[in-house]
Structure 1
Amino acid sequence: MIDVEDSIVITRPIGEVFDFVADQTNAPRWQDGLLAVRRITDGPPAVGTKHVVVRTFLGRRLELTNEYVHYEPNKKITFTGASGPSSFDVSYLTDTTADGTRVTCQMRMEQKGLFKLGDPLVAANLKRAFAANLHNLKDLLETGAD
């Protein structure tokens, strides 16, 4: 089992940060390796919202579908998905701080079979990616520049 978590404070109001992160179609603007995200359900983000995601990870192109299983405005989003031998849960939590909004990203991934042998490499790569992506998000939301 792989567990990764990181957080950052963004000097923007919680509603603005949450709404931006909750709309996964924004994610290619701040997540390295994310090539495309397309919402495949109608309406605004909510429990049951599904996306098709295309990304590269460790040199492989992955296409997967995820689904929101928890959606609490200005608090928490959780989505689940699977790709090949891996399944995952990702949560974004937001809370107000004296300096703006803290965004915490948590991921739990389970790989099956021989892929479990790669857990240390995958975990290290995810930790680096989380830190870089959260800094990208901060820069994007605080400066407005892609």
Structure 2
Amino acid sequence: MVDVTRTFTVQTAPDAVLDYLRDFARAEEWDPGTIRCDRLDDGPVRVGSTWRNVSKFLGSETELTYELTAAEADRLRFVGKNDTATSTDDIRVLPGEHQGTSSVTYHAHVEFHGAAKLAAPLAKIALEKLGTETEDNLVRILGGATT
């Protein structure tokens, strides 16, 4: 299992951050590993909504089906699954120190299954790099870091 956490501040209010991140199809914009992310169901995004995410990871394409499993006032949780891994993205968004800003904590937890468990040490290095790139992208998209 691999855990990666990033906490950063953006110049966007919490509700707007949560609204943006709620649609996981937008991962194409902020997740450097995502090649394609398509919504699988219709209607408003809600707990139970699903997406097919195709990513490039460690030189290979991988596909996971993600589900929004929690949508609270300050938190979103997406769980992606395939035969080799279960990936949980837990995103907490709280008011920042300054009005109109947000403190975002993005925690990715990946549990590998079967023989894929052997790749966990290498995956940790790759996921740490992706975590930094994801943070950079979200800061850029959501209005930049505050001082």
TM-score by length of 1: 0.90
Match status 1:120 vs 2:121: yes
Determine if contact 1:8/1:135 at 8 Å carries over to the other structure: no
The code of the aligned residue for 1:127 comes to E
Name 1:137's counterpart in structure 2.
138
Identity of aligned residues (%): 27
Alignment RMSD (CA, Å): 1.4
Name 2:72's counterpart in structure 1.
72
Distance, in Å, in 2 between the alignment partners of 1:54 and 1:115 is 18
Name 1:29's counterpart in structure 2.
29
Distance, in Å, in 2 between the alignment partners of 1:116 and 1:22 is 30
Instruction: Say which SS state the counterpart of residue 142 (structure 1) adopts.
Output: coil
Distance, in Å, in 1 between the alignment partners of 2:119 and 2:54 is 21
Deviations 1:88-132 (A, max 9, x none): 211111001114101111122111233212211111211111111
Instruction: Say which SS state the counterpart of residue 31 (structure 2) adopts.
Output: coil
Distance, in Å, in 2 between the alignment partners of 1:109 and 1:27 is 17
Give 1:141 deviation, angstroms. 2.0
Q: How many residues get paired? A: 142
Please give the residue correspondences for 1:1-146 in structure 2 after superposition, counting only pairs within 5 Å.
1-73=1-73, 75-99=74-98, 100-142=101-143
The code of the aligned residue for 1:6 comes to R
Unmatched segments (≥5 aa) in structure 2: none
Give 1:21 deviation, angstroms. 1.0
